[in-house]
Amino acid sequence: MYRLTGVTKRYSRGKETVEALRGIDLTIEDGDQLVIQGPTGGGKSTLLQMIGGLDRPTEGSVELDGVDLARISEAKLTRLRAEKIGIIFQSFNLIPTLTAQENVETALVPLGVKPAERRERAAEALRSVGLGERLGHAPSELSGGQQQRVAIARALVKKPKVLLADEPTGNLDEGTRDDIMALLEGLWHEYGLTFIMVTHDSSIARRAPRLATIKAGQITLTEQHAQNTYVPQGQGQGQGQGQQEPYAGHGTQQGYQAY
């Protein structure tokens, strides 16, 4: 469980001080899905960095299962990220020189997993996102949607407790967006993850069960009782036909509808 108390983050830009977050209080239960929305520069990515242990607040505390991420040592924070937090980036952030399988393996390297097991688990994760036949492909040989699937496999291969996504569909077209969202929804249900996502996309935000809107560093929470209704459009799939793909068509199986 996350408990954020009075989280404030200030940045210095020359003589000017910018307050990105202003006394945020927020509780996120295990297995919750929270979508964070807001205008550019409103502080949503900064909040995600605090939650992900990528940065520390200037004031306040960010507790994950009772551990204050703002206070623990850098080494412990790094270890915690490696074990408990999976992150998906808007621009996928894949290592361009490594293959899809090797990219997924990078998440297991800090955990000290042996190479053979690493390869097997990475292949399995890629199969689970419908890329069973793309293990040896470089990112440049994959479409945007496929690259984001590799990034999702990388985030989930270590079986994290928390999945953070920073505008995961920001660089994708509408059809691919729905594919990815259907996949993420399916994974959230399957693994019982705590899923926190930042998005600009109001159509995604509308369907979130819990919505946090950040403006000028301050948060407003909305309980929406919305139902996820993503229907995969088939993009980015088909490459893994015949492979084990539990989430590739998950949306259809669950009967999610677009709008």
- Contact set with another protein (CB under 8 A): 45, 48-49, 52, 54-55, 74-75, 78-79, 81-83, 85, 87, 89-91, 93, 95-98, 102, 105-107, 109-111, 115, 118, 154, 166
Q: How far apart are CA 40 and CA 170, in angstroms?
A: 13
Nearer to another protein, 55 or 124 (CB): 55
Nearer to another protein, 77 or 226 (CB): 77
Nearer to another protein, 91 or 241 (CB): 91
Which residues contact residue 259 at a Cβ distance below 8 angstroms, ignoring those fewer than 6 apart?
Answer: 203, 229
In angstroms, give the least distance from the CB of 33 to another protein: 20
Nearer to another protein, 212 or 248 (CB): 212
In angstroms, give the least distance from the CB of 106 to another protein: 6
Burial group, residue 202, by CB count within 10 angstroms (0-12, 13-18, 19+): exposed
In angstroms, give the least distance from the CB of 12 to another protein: 15
Nearer to another protein, 93 or 143 (CB): 93
In angstroms, give the least distance from the CB of 114 to another protein: 11
In angstroms, give the least distance from the CB of 15 to another protein: 21
In angstroms, give the least distance from the CB of 20 to another protein: 11
32: tokens are 């919750």
Residue matched to tokens 């800090």: 110
Nearer to another protein, 105 or 245 (CB): 105
